[in-house]
Every structure is written in C-alpha cells, then in structure tokens.
C-alpha cells in the first residue's frame, strides 16, 4: 500500500534533497533490493562492433604466436606474448593511458594511407637489446638510460620485426599492410588521429626471463573505416571477383543428390477420420483439379506441373515456375 505524506514530511524531503541526503527507500524496504544505476560514460565511444573487436583480437592472438616464435629465435631466450585487454576510447584518452616509459612508432597502413600506433615499454626494449648483443640471462631489466645510436638501431629492428609479423596476419584480416615509421620516446606526442577519433586499444603482455612488460596497439577507426565490413567478416565482394572459383563451387554443388516429388494436394484430417477410411471412400484434397500438381525439390516448391505418363511410367510435365501463373 502507498503511504500519504503530510505537508511537514514533504517539506523535510525537499530540504533533504537540497542537502543531497535523500534516504534510499529501496535499501530500507524489507525484502526489496536497492535499485542499481549504471553510469554511462558518453565520452567512451562504441564505434567498433563486438564482431570487429572479436576478429581483431583473434588476429592479434595469431600475431602473438608468430611474433613470439620469431623473437625467441632471434633473442635465443623463451618469450611469450598474449592479448590481455581491449578498450574503446577516444584517441586522446587512449594515448594518455599509455605507460609513460614507452617507446612508440606510428604504423603506416596501406593502401588506405592511414596510421596506427604501436608502443612497447622501455624495459622490454632494453632487455631485447641486451639479448641481441649476446647478453645472457638477467635477473632484472637493465636500468633505464638514454638510448645510444646503437640502441636506436636495435630498437628499430625490434619494431620492424613486430610490425612485419603483424602485417602478415593483418593482411589476411583487412587486406592492408603495416610498416613501422620513426621511433619516438614521447608517445604522448605522437599524433596519428584526431583527438576525438574512436580508438580501439589492444594491450598485450610480453614475458621474458620471468619479467613482464606491456605492448599496446592503438587502432583509430579511420584506419579500418574503408575495410570495416571485411574486418567484421561481412565482405562479400570476393564472391564475384573470381569467376573460376564461382564456377568450381557451382560444379561441386551440382553433384549433390536432391529428392524430387510431385504433390497433387493435401488435407488435414483428424486421426479418427483417417482410421475410419475404407476402400472406395473419397478424400477431397482442397485444391482445384485445374491447378495440376506441385513439383518439389526436397521441401521447396519450384514448379507447377500437370500429371501424365511417359511410356509405362508416371510423369509430370512442367507448366510454369513457382510464382508464375500456371
């Protein structure tokens, strides 16, 4: 039952509302749960669909396997890569959340002539440099230092290896090639998209010699805008681009066996009526005789026909296709 408030009670509620001290009726009512409110952040974009995000993550899982194998061979030490998180943010917000001690490089995306951004934490870069120069197992990552010319060359090689492996799998996903451009330690200043551009951030974890670091790939929407359907798996253009493949598919399907049947008509009857049928009884099928018979492929009606015979065998002659006047 509802409770009628007095004027004094109403005045007290108004005063409490001004103070921000309204009571939580949902929490105090016996046997009822307090209402749960979901905060919606309108600054967080949702441009990438769940299917696009799922296929991108699956592609990066393949990248993790191939890149880890390649780097393990080059560094001569076991290395693991794994996708650990994805998030959709604006470009400026995604860039602000990158680790400050990171080295980054824009990735040229061709043929769309757009950009992505790949970043790697500096401790991981320094460890790979140590191993590339023949260093043995280390107990801890090297101390942060200013990169020398040799360091920059070897760091460049690391990014080229990563971007090369990523380009191979990205080509299969979106038909685009990726290439690492100039390296920079100030990742917050690398501008490859508008500050409000919807951006998918994929965070990867690298594990080498019991040390963990993160890599990040920032994918602005503009980088996949022209191939969004292909990334989502909805691109059907390839079905008509290769006549030979289309002909081969048609020939393969042509070998399948299909049951054809001719149906004069049908009627629904109760079980007791069916059991009561005797020789000589007449069953009306509910279809005029002039409509002939219907020709079915499995359960799909495809033609109108008229009954007859061919020699000593029953046969039907096709009159018209389904949907046309018989």
Tens-place pLDDT, residues 64-89: 999 999 999 998 899 999 999 999 99
Each residue's pLDDT tens digit, 267-326: 888 999 889 999 988 888 877 877 788 888 888 888 888 888 888 888 888 888 876 655
Residues 226 and 260 in one domain: no
Tokens for 51? Answer: 């299917």
Structural contact between residues 161 and 67, judged by C-beta atoms closer than 8 angstroms: yes
Same domain? For 232 and 257 the reply is no
**Domain termination site, one of 239, 271, 287:** 239
State which of 176, 211, 239 marks the end of a domain: 239
For the chain, state the CA radius of gyration. Answer: 34
Rounded Cα–Cα distance for residues 55 and 186 (Å):
30
Query: What CATH number did the domain enclosing 57 receive?
Result: 3.40.1550.10
Query: Within a 13 Å sphere around the CA of 111, how many CA atoms are in the beta-carbon half?
Result: 1
**DSSP string computed for 67-109:** HHHHHHHHHTS-EEEEEEEEEEEEHHHHHHTS-SSEEEEEEEE
Mean pLDDT of successive 10-residue stretches along the chain, which has 326 residues: 67 69 50 48 72 94 95 91 94 92 94 95 91 76 85 94 95 94 91 92 91 94 92 64 73 85 86 90 82 85 87 87 67
Domain contains 22: no
- Would you say residue 16 lies in a domain? no
Tell me the HSE value of 269 on the side-chain side, using a 13 A CA sphere: 13
Number of domains in the chain: 2
Return the structure tokens found at 125: 């870069």
Statement to judge: residues 165 and 72 lie in one domain: yes
pLDDT of residue 242: 64
Q: Which runs of consecutive H residues, i.e. helices, occur in 267-321?
A: 271-275
Structure confidence at residue 209 (pLDDT):
79
Strand arrangement of the beta sheet that strand 79-90 belongs to: 79-90, 198-208, 211-220, 114-121, 102-110, 177-180
Please give the structure tokens belonging to residue 261. Answer: 């049947």
Q: How far is CA 236 from the centre of its chain?
A: 16
- Are residues 205 and 289 located together in one domain of the fold? no
In a domain, 120, yes or no: yes
Range of the domain at 274: 253-321
Q: What is the CATH number of the domain that holds 298?
A: 2.30.330.10
Query: Same domain, yes or no, for 103 and 191?
Result: yes
Residue 48 C-beta-side C-alpha neighbours within 13 Å? 28
- My answer on whether 302 and 233 are in the same domain is no
103: Cβ–Cβ under 8 A, 6 or more apart, which residues? 119, 120, 121, 122, 125, 155, 159, 183, 184, 185, 187
* CA-angle at 180, arms to 176 and 184, nearest 5°: 145
Q: Tell me, what's the pLDDT at 30?
A: 45
Residue 194 shares a structural domain with residue 261: no
Quick check: is 184 in a domain?
Answer: yes
pTM greater than the 0.85 cutoff: no
Looking at residue 91, what is its pLDDT?
Answer: 93
**Same domain, residue pair 58 and 102:** yes
Q: Are residues 157 and 67 in the same domain?
A: yes
Could you report how far apart the first and last alpha carbons of the chain are, in Å?
Answer: 68
The helix/strand/coil state of 39 is coil
Q: What share of the chain is helix, strand, coil (3-state, %, to 5)?
A: 40, 25, 35
- Of 99, 106, 102, 157, the closest CA to residue 128 belongs to 157
| DSSP-assigned letter for residue 175 | S
């Amino acid at each position: 039952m509802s409770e009628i408030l007095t004027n004094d009670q109403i005045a007290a509620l108004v005063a409490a509302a001004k103070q921000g001290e309204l009571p939580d009726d949902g929490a105090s009512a016996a046997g009822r749960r307090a209402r749960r409110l979901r905060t919606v952040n309108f600054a967080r974009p949702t441009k990438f669909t769940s299917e696009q995000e799922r296929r991108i993550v699956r592609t990066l899982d393949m990248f993790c396997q191939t890149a880890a194998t390649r780097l393990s061979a080059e560094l001569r030490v076991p290395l693991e890569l794994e996708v650990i998180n994805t998030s959709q943010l604006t470009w400026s917000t995604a860039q602000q959340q990158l680790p400050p001690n990171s080295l980054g490089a824009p990735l040229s995306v061709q043929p769309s002539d757009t950009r992505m951004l790949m970043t790697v934490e500096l401790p991981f870069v320094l460890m790979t440099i140590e191993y590339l120069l023949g260093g043995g197992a280390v107990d801890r990552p090297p101390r942060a230092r200013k990169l020398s010319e040799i360091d920059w060359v070897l760091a460049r090689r690391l990014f080229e290896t990563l971007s090369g492996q990523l380009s191979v799998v990205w080509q299969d996903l979106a038909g685009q090639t990726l290439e690492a451009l100039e390296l920079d330690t100030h990742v917050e200043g690398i501008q490859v998209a508008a500050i409000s551009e919807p951006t998918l951030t994929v965070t990867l974890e690298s594990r080498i010699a019991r040390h963990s670091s993160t890599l990040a790939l920032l994918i602005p929407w503009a980088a996949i805008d022209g191939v969004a359907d292909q990334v989502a798996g909805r691109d059907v253009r390839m079905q008509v681009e290769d006549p030979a493949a289309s002909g081969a598919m048609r020939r393969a399907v042509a070998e399948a066996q299909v049951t054809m049947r001719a149906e004069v008509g049908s009627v629904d009857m109760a079980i007791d009526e069916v059991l009561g049928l005797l020789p000589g009884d007449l069953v009306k099928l509910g279809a005029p005789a002039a409509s002939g018979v219907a020709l079915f492929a499995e359960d799909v009606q495809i033609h109108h026909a008229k009954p007859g015979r061919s020699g000593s065998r029953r046969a039907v002659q096709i009159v018209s296709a389904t949907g046309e006047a018989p």
